[in-house]
Structures are given as C-alpha cells and as structure tokens.
C-alpha cells in the first residue's frame, strides 16, 4: 500500500489538466483552504461520490491516566469526522 501526498496531487493535476506546476499547486491549495475554512466555521463539506467532512465538538470528560491510574480531566476538543459516500464505500468493498 502506497501513500499519496499533496505533491503527488499537484503532479497528477498537472498531467490530467495540462496545468503548470504553479497553477496546479495554487488549485490544490485553494481547495484545501476552502475545505479548512468551512470546517472551521462549523460547516459540513460534502463531496459528491466521495464523502462528507463533518465538524464535531467533543465535550470534556473525566478519564484515567493509563500508566498511573490517576484520574484526569480531558478537555473539550473539536475534531472532524469523515463519512464515506455510499457509492465510494461500495467501490472500496468490491
């Protein structure tokens, strides 16, 4: 299993859309910036036939330190969930 990174996306966009590296990098950066900005505002980002990014807030809770078994307070946090679309999920499971 190999990994795909941002530079790989830029290279693929250059090849498929016949863009310069600079134009492709700006396009990829713009897409990620828009996704990030909307998630920070609390908006869901739905990409058809791919999936949905869902911003979520976790409330604070009490926990236990696994090493010392001492009680500790876990602070509230924000996170992002990703839910695959049904179409993409069925393609992966074939």
Q: What is the pLDDT of residues 49-58, one digit of tens each?
A: 999 999 999 9
Please give the Cα distance from 82 to 80 (Å, whole number): 7
* pTM across the whole model: 0.80
d(CA 17, CA 9): 12
pLDDT in tens, 7-57: 999 999 999 999 999 999 999 999 999 999 999 999 999 999 999 999 999
Question: Was domain 44-94 assigned CATH 1.10.3430.10?
Answer: no
CATH architecture of 1-42: Irregular (4.10)
Domain ranges of the chain: 1-42, 44-94
Question: Does 44-94 match 1-42 at the fold level?
Answer: yes
């Amino acid at each position: 299993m190999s990994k795909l990174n941002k530079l790989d996306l830029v290279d693929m966009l250059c090849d498929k859309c016949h863009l310069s590296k600079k134009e492709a990098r700006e396009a990829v950066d713009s897409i990620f910036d828009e996704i990030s900005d909307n998630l920070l505002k609390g908006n869901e980002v739905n990409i058809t036939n791919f999936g949905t990014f869902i911003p979520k807030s976790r409330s604070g809770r009490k926990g236990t330190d696994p090493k010392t078994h001492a009680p500790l307070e876990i602070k509230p946090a924000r996170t992002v969930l990703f839910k695959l679309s049904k179409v993409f999920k069925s393609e992966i499971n074939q």
